[in-house]
Amino acid sequence: MYRLSSRRSVSALLRLRGASCRTTAVPTCCSAPATNTTTENEIRVGQYPAVSRGWCNIAGPSHSLNLKGSLASGRRYESTAAANNASPPPSAEKYEYQAEVSRLMDLIVNSLYSNKEVFLRELISNASDALDKLRFLSVTEPQLLKDGVVDLDIRIHTDKDNGIISITDSGIGMTRQELVDCLGTIAQSGTAKFLKAVKASKDSSSDSNLIGQFGVGFYSAFLVAERVVVSTKSPKSDKQYVWEGEANSSSYSIREETDPDNLIPRGTRLTLYLKNDDKGFAHPERVEKLVKNYSQFVSFPIYTWKEKGYTKEVEVDEDPAEAKQEGEDDKAERKKKTKKVVERYWDWELTNETQPIWLRNPKEVSTEEYNEFYKKTFNEYLDPLASSHFTTEGEVEFRSILYVPAVSSMAKEDMVNPKTKNIRLYVKRVFISDDFDGELFPRYLSFVKGVVDSNDLPLNVSREILQESRIVRIMRKRLVRKAFDMILGISLSENREDYETFWENYGKYLKLGCIEDRENHKRLGPLLRFFSSQSENELISLDEYLENMKPEQKDIYYVASDSVNSARNAPFLEKLLEKDLEVLFLVDPIDEVAIQNLKSYKEKNFVDISKEDLDLGDKDEEKEKVTKQEFAQTCDWMKKRLGDKVASVQISNRLSSSPCVLVSGKFGWSANMERLMKAQTVGDTQSLEFMRSRRVFEINPDHPIIKSLNAAWKSSPDDEDALRAIDLLYDAALVSSGYTPDNPAQLGGKIYEMMDMALSGKWLSAAEVQSAPGGSQTPGTLEAEIVEPVEAGTQK
């Protein structure tokens, strides 16, 4: 047969066994050198051995191929090995993967966890599992509690001077064989094995809160420890055993505990001898902080060894010189002098005293308890605007409490940052992470704070990263739905100020949701608020707008501008205000984009009144036909004068007092959007020109200026004053419609010229008019000088 060269493969996620606890027998053929001789198991096809695939050396004679022809002649290559296809299938030998244990331990310790401080979370979770197992088994086996240790707790003792941490639990403990199986076998989870046995038993319906599942949490101790000692006593055994291992070793030792001072009645004591760089973890304050962050809600009490103090009074020795001065007679009457000192001592203190209120029935939790939990968990000082406590069952089971903060704590630049650390994820009451990239909440709801606790979330092996899966997507949908219900509750509150406060802080987030989340448009719509032509000082909802709509009104009208004042005075509104049609004012930069993505609300389309083809539902076709015939040539004349500045000149149906207006095309940017895009720091001039919509110049046929220009076209279409009036009319419409003129200085010059023509020395004397530039050349000036000689004489 073909012999494989010896090769090892390392995999940190397979169920592998350490070399010192279980050695897998490997066939000698794997390590034997390859030879060129064939054996009785050699497989031949025709007269040539079969070609073996994989990472192996091919033994046996070389494979010669009978090449008929060449590549240049285009003939096929044929192998004589294909002559015999009827040979029996080859026999296969099985091999087990081998692991280089020291390398595997290095991968687990240095590559699996991204944060060293999670070692305490993992070890406390193991201790909690040991206590849970004992509590579960003691129901059917009361003799497990015969040692008299009733309290089920976890105690953490620290020695900051020597850098030692001891974690002791009064749980089920381990026998010698269990030490070998659980601690000596990498990726062997005792908890997972126990759960499997429970599910197979009659008690499969029992509820358990066991945490472990991967079998590598114990080895996180080597993140900070150079040596780990595990002393354990199982109620199933009369002896106590000690397991000892080092960080950079592929072996461990197990011995029987013989020192009476180290004996424990039941449970496990885990002692970590910290590395020099990590001795800071042995400070009691550091341990207390980690316990409160990660294991605050473990179902068993956790005690830490902490220095305490109390105040007492002690006598103070008097100064002999002072006593001599006071005299001997006063000694009997004087009281002894004392001072207050703080007496220091060490004692156990309960660290995880806060109970997880999300496990309680919402009907039994008061508003004050919810607020207190919110302030303590998220370090807030104000009560939340609203909270939602719920339990989801079915395909995905989890419990959660969500809050809406009273004030936004995030800066404006954090609005688009989904990593806000506002959602704390727990798995079986053990804190996992608060660093998510939009897995649980979309970024437009990143202001929502809360906790989520589940028993079956898909985590990676380090239990730090939430893996993408169908379960996570379902959970995300339900959390978002509950968040919307909570916000809707604020909007329907009798106290209108509550939602005004919410909208002031988080209105932009909901508008961002209109852009990013099409699936929830129906939930976002009722929450939006805008100013309008009939409510300039108070925000209204879209439902209130629909209530105010006229019976014949088919659409929701809006106009985008930079302020309520400029929106109110825009020429686009004139006809709508006459008809008492309400128009929404979009004054926030994000408003227009949000409404364009929303498109409609309750089967009513949003219509921008600053764009062409505005239909107000009152068309008089006969009148329009007559007007168009009368002003058709005038429109063509204006279009010829304006050239490429406008796409067309049309008769307007939206003007009543203004002579003209400049509207944008139906599918391009509005004037407001064009202004915003030009203001972008990284704006592209080429894209601006491409996206700038066609502009339509609309005129009001009832305005005196337009009537004068119509007469000018009929009498003298080439008159310079008439042509300059068209230019000035366009520039004025450009500004009043919200566009920015390309040449402001030129526009200013035209205005000055028109002002000069209009005033024409109305308040000047004849001498001043004559001395003005070009004044003596004007016939009107000479006449003024002759008619009013007295005025001229008074100025001398």
Instruction: Tell whether 214 is in a known binding site.
Output: yes
- As a three-state string, the secondary structure of 588-649 is CCCHHHHHHHHCEECCEEEEECCECCCCCCCCCHHHHHHHHHHHHHHHHHHHHHHHHHCCEE
DSSP letters of 365-412? Answer: S-HHHHHHHHHHHHT-SS--SEEEEEEE-SSS-EEEEEEE-SS--S-G
Neighbour tally for 227: CB within 10 Å: 17
Angle, helices 671-678/591-598, rounded to nearest 10 degrees:
130
Instruction: Tell whether 69 is in a known binding site.
Output: no
The C-alpha angle 563, 564, 567, rounded to 5 degrees, equals 90
Instruction: Tell whether 692 is in a known binding site.
Output: no
Residue 108 CB partners (closer than 8 Å, separation 6+):
12, 186, 216, 219
Instruction: Tell whether 585 is in a known binding site.
Output: no
Q: What one-character DSSP code corresponds to residue 260?
A: G
Instruction: Tell whether 677 is in a known binding site.
Output: no
Reduced to 3 states (helix: H, G, I; strand: E, B; else coil), residue 561 is coil
Instruction: Tell whether 280 is in a known binding site.
Output: no
The helix, strand and coil proportions of the chain, stated in percent and rounded to the nearest 5, come to: 40, 20, 45
Instruction: Tell whether 136 is in a known binding site.
Output: no
Instruction: Tell whether 774 is in a known binding site.
Output: no
Instruction: Tell whether 122 is in a known binding site.
Output: yes
Instruction: Tell whether 188 is in a known binding site.
Output: no
Reduced to 3 states (helix: H, G, I; strand: E, B; else coil), residue 715 is helix
Instruction: Tell whether 431 is in a known binding site.
Output: no
Spatial contact of 389 and 401, defined as CB atoms under 8 Å apart: yes
Show the beta-strand stretches assigned E in 90-215. 154-159, 164-169
Instruction: Tell whether 215 is in a known binding site.
Output: yes
| Total length of the chain | 796
Q: For residue 88, with 0-12 CB atoms within 10 Å meaning exposed, 13-18 middle and 19 or more buried, which class applies?
A: exposed
CA–CA separation, 698 and 648 (whole Å) = 8
Q: For residue 151, with 0-12 CB atoms within 10 Å meaning exposed, 13-18 middle and 19 or more buried, which class applies?
A: exposed
Beta-bridged to residue 340, according to DSSP, are 313
Which residues define the annotated binding site for ATP?
Answer: 122, 126, 169, 174, 189-190, 213-218, 268, 463
Which residues define the annotated binding site?
Answer: 122, 126, 169, 174, 189-190, 213-218, 268, 463
